[in-house]
Amino acid sequence: MHPTDRPRRLRADGIRDIVAETRLSPSDFVVPVFVDATTDERVPIESMPGHERVPVHEIVDRVEEILVTGIESVMLFGIPESKDEVGSRADADDGVVQRALRRLDAETDAYVIADLCLCEYTDHGHCGILEGDAEHDAHLTVRNDATLDRYASIAQSYADAGADMIAPSGMMDGQIETIRSALDADGYAEVPIMAYAAKYESAFYGPFRDAADGAPAFGDRRHYQMDPANCREAHREVSLDVQQGADALLVKPALSYLDIVADVRENFDRPVAAYNVSGEYAMLHAAAEKGWLDIEEVAHESLVSIKRAGADLIVTYFGETVAERL
C-beta of residue 167 within 8 angstroms of C-beta of residue 115 = yes
CATH number, domain at 155?
A: 3.20.20.70
- What is the pLDDT confidence band of residue 215, given thresholds at 50, 70 and 90? low
- What is the pLDDT confidence band of residue 87, given thresholds at 50, 70 and 90? confident
Percent of the chain residues topping a pLDDT of 90: 76
Residue 1 in any domain: the answer is no
pLDDT for 126 equals 77
pLDDT for 142 equals 81
Q: Report the range of poorest mean pLDDT among 70-79, 192-201, 223-232.
A: 223-232
- Report whether pLDDT(145) > 80: yes
Q: Does the N-terminal peptide bond of residue 32 adopt cis geometry, omega within 30 degrees of 0?
A: no
Question: Any binding-site annotation on 89?
Answer: no
Residue 279 in any domain: the answer is yes
Among candidates 152, 158, 194, which has minimal Cα distance to 314?
A: 194
Residue 2 in any domain: the answer is no
CA distance 278 to 267: 27
Q: Report the range of poorest mean pLDDT among 37-41, 59-63, 145-149, 214-218.
A: 214-218
Number of structural domains found in the chain = 1
Mind giving me the DSSP string for 191-207?
A: S-BEEEEEEB--GGGHH
Residue 312 in any domain: the answer is yes
pLDDT tens digits, residue range 168-180?
Answer: 988 889 999 999 9
Question: Any binding-site annotation on 62?
Answer: no
**Active-site residue identified among 83, 199, 290, 307:** 199
- Report whether pLDDT(218) > 70: no
Beta strands in the chain (DSSP E): 29-36, 43-44, 52-54, 73-79, 111-116, 165-168, 194-199, 248-252, 272-276, 313-316
**Amino acid code (one letter) for 298:** V
pLDDT tens digits, residue range 231-244?
Answer: 999 999 999 999 99
- Report whether pLDDT(27) > 80: yes
Question: Any binding-site annotation on 221?
Answer: yes
Residue 306 in any domain: the answer is yes
Question: Any binding-site annotation on 256?
Answer: no
pLDDT for 212 equals 57
Rg (Cα) of the chain, in Å, rounded? 20
Residue 4 burial (CB < 10 Å; 0-12/13-18/19+)? Answer: exposed
For residue 164, the SS3 value is coil
Question: Any binding-site annotation on 119?
Answer: yes
- Report whether pLDDT(316) > 90: yes
Residue 208 in any domain: the answer is yes
Residue 52 in any domain: the answer is yes
- What is the pLDDT confidence band of residue 204, given thresholds at 50, 70 and 90? confident
**Domain membership of residue 55 as a residue range:** 7-323
1 Cβ contact partners less than 8 Å away, ≥ 6 residues apart: none
Question: Any binding-site annotation on 169?
Answer: no
- Report whether pLDDT(138) > 80: no
**Active-site residue identified among 83, 252, 290, 307:** 252
DSSP state of 219: S
- What is the pLDDT confidence band of residue 112, given thresholds at 50, 70 and 90? very high
- Report whether pLDDT(95) > 90: yes
Q: Taking all residues of the chain, what is their mean pLDDT, rounded to a whole number?
A: 92
Residue 162 burial (CB < 10 Å; 0-12/13-18/19+)? Answer: middle
- What is the pLDDT confidence band of residue 139, given thresholds at 50, 70 and 90? low
Told to judge if 252 belongs to the known catalytic residues of this protein, a careful annotator would answer yes
106 backbone dihedrals φ, ψ, rounded to 5°: -80, -30
Residue 289 in any domain: the answer is yes
- What is the pLDDT confidence band of residue 125, given thresholds at 50, 70 and 90? confident
pTM of full prediction above 0.75: yes
pLDDT tens digits, residue range 261-313?
Answer: 999 999 999 999 999 999 999 999 999 999 999 999 999 999 999 999 999 99
